[in-house]
Amino acid sequence: MGLATSALFGPTPVPEAIGLCERQLADDLRERSTEGIICCMVARLHAMNGDASRAREHYRRGRSLLHELGQGVFAASTGLDVAAVELLSGDLGGAEAQVRTDLELLQRMGETYFLASMASYLGFLLRAQDREAEAFRLSELAEQSAAADDADAQALWRALRAPLLARRGDLSVAEGLAREAVNLAGRTEAPILQADSRRELARV
């Protein structure tokens, strides 16, 4: 699974990363839970490659498998993959329903590691639907839930909130948050997070 994670979040070109992950899935993995998680990872890659149909096929397969195995937290965490796919592929309402269910489950379970990022991703889905007040509240939930040393989650809530503040006219605060997100993302080895943070700074 570590190899698939590196392929998705690291600098590997998307077509090459898809091939690597698909080969892992074809190797008849012993742990079905690992298979489910990798399916959801490769769903993101197919969405990045412009293939929404295959992306949805993979995340549906992966999530179904994880739910079947009773993988509560891990099954819910794949809401992040659904959101990432549909922010690229366009089914914002469908993704919102799934991610909201996953977020509520994590809240009931008292889980916070995935919760912070999940709240931000749901916020991005709502912001894309022009539901800015709801998106702002989710940025607050993400801020409250994010661990101080979780650079990914800390960058995400700032990147979500900054354009919302800019639209309200709070330009200096918005730019400050957006630049903090870029700096936090820069401490990671995740090119996608770095690019997304710069995009939100450009929005501001």
CA distance 194 to 31: 32
The per-residue pLDDT for 28 is: 63
The per-residue pLDDT for 123 is: 97
Task: Pick left, alpha or beta for residue 90 (phi over 0 → left; psi -120 to 50 → alpha; otherwise beta).
Answer: left
What single string gives the DSSP state of each residue in 23-78? HHHHT--S-HHHHHHHHHHHHHHHHHTT-HHHHHHHHHHHHHHHHHTT-HHHHHHT
CB 155 within 8 A of CB 184: yes
**For each successive 10 residues of the chain (204 residues), what is the average pLDDT?**
78 88 74 84 94 94 87 85 95 94 91 91 96 96 93 96 96 96 93 95 96
